[in-house]
């Protein structure tokens, strides 16, 4: 068995060997706790039949654990300076492929087609860079990739927002967008002390299990998300105020908005954070004829 990458001593040795310096702009924080990495792999229910997509492998600490458990790992790494390091640290694992690309610009569907031809069980597992957490998760969900789910480490406050329930301060358009496509649960809190360099905040591991069909059925998915974003534009404002100020020609269509709210039994003086996914579904369907 090869020595784990994710120990303080080995991580330091690798960084020194390559004279690697962390780039703040890329949100690089490397995990130095093997037990946490093993738990992440467990939360993802990885087996030897699983294909794994990783984003931001760093020096390969999580990649190594995934390679030991899964059939194949494809990792997207944006930082060119890490490529020779990964070639070195992941050399013992023949089932890993590193792609030097920004995942936000990558055609992930095409990569899946090329790299996982014989694999049906696919998971996205990553320790995500804080500054692009939300766009990465939303890209994966909106592109309807053929995956079972996503297990990622991210800032605790973002995890709180993703798994929040209606009526709580963390509940917002991000909660709705993610919960529309998946069942979301925070499975672990990770203290900032297990990273180098140490971030300013604690992290959390979140598990998103893809729903076979979205949580609510709506006439138009794009419009549904437009309505939810509009409803949270200014949290302290009522639904009516937000919708009239945020939807196209909303001020001119105030009467129609009131009619739609009444028609689906939603009080116009409520705030966005009090509505469930089902209520947002009904509301967007009631508004749709006036805005399509």
Residue 157: CB partners within 8 Å, gap ≥ 6? 170, 201
The structure tokens listed for 279 are: 């209520």
29 is an annotated ligand-binding site residue: yes
Determine the pLDDT at residue 27: 66
Determine the pLDDT at residue 200: 85
What pTM did the predictor assign? 0.92
For 189-213, letters b (16+ CB in 10 Å) and e give ebeeebbbeeeeeebbbbbbebeee
128 is an annotated ligand-binding site residue: no
The structure tokens listed for 248 are: 């196209």
Q: Name the percent of the chain lying above pLDDT 90.
A: 87
Convert the pLDDT of each residue in 119-163 to its tens digit.
999 999 999 888 889 999 999 999 999 999 999 999 999 999 999
The Cα 156–Cα 200 span in angstroms is 11
| Domains of the chain and any CATH numbers | 8-210 (3.40.50.150), 221-291 (1.10.8.100)
102 is an annotated ligand-binding site residue: yes
127 is an annotated ligand-binding site residue: yes
Determine the pLDDT at residue 21: 80
Convert the pLDDT of each residue in 13-53 to its tens digit.
998 999 888 776 666 788 989 999 999 999 999 999 999 99
277 is an annotated ligand-binding site residue: no
31 is an annotated ligand-binding site residue: yes
Determine the pLDDT at residue 1: 63
């Amino acid at each position: 068995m090869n020595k784990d990458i994710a120990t303080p001593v080995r991580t330091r040795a690798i960084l020194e060997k390559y004279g690697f310096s962390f780039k703040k702009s890329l949100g690089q924080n490397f995990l130095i706790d093997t037990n946490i990495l093993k738990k992440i792999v467990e939360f993802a229910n990885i087996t030897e039949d699983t294909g794994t997509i990783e984003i931001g492998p760093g020096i390969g600490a999580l990649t190594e654990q995934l390679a030991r458990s899964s059939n194949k790992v494809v990792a997207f790494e944006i930082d060119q300076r890490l490529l020779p390091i990964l070639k070195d640290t992941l050399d013992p694992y023949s089932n890993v492929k590193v792609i030097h690309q920004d995942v936000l610009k990558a055609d992930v569907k095409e990569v899946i087609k090329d790299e996982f031809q014989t694999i049906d069980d696919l998971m996205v597992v990553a320790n995500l860079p804080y500054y692009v957490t939300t766009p990465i998760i939303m890209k994966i969900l909106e592109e309807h990739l053929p995956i079972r789910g996503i297990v990622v480490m991210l800032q605790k406050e973002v995890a709180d927002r993703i798994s929040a329930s209606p009526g709580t301060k963390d509940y917002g358009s991000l909660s709705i967008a993610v919960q529309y496509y998946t069942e979301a649960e925070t499975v672990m809190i990770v203290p900032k002390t297990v990273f180098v360099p140490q971030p300013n905040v604690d992290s959390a591991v979140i598990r998103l299990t893809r729903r076979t069909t979205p949580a609510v059925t709506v006439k138009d998915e794009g419009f549904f998300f437009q309505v939810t974003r509009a409803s949270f534009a200014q949290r302290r404002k009522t639904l009516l105020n937000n919708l009239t100020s945020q939807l196209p020609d909303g001020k001119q269509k105030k009467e129609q908005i009131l009619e739609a709210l009444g028609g689906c039994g939603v009080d116009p003086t409520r705030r966005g954070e009090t509505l469930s996914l089902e209520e947002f579904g009904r509301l967007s369907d009631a508004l749709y004829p006036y805005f399509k």
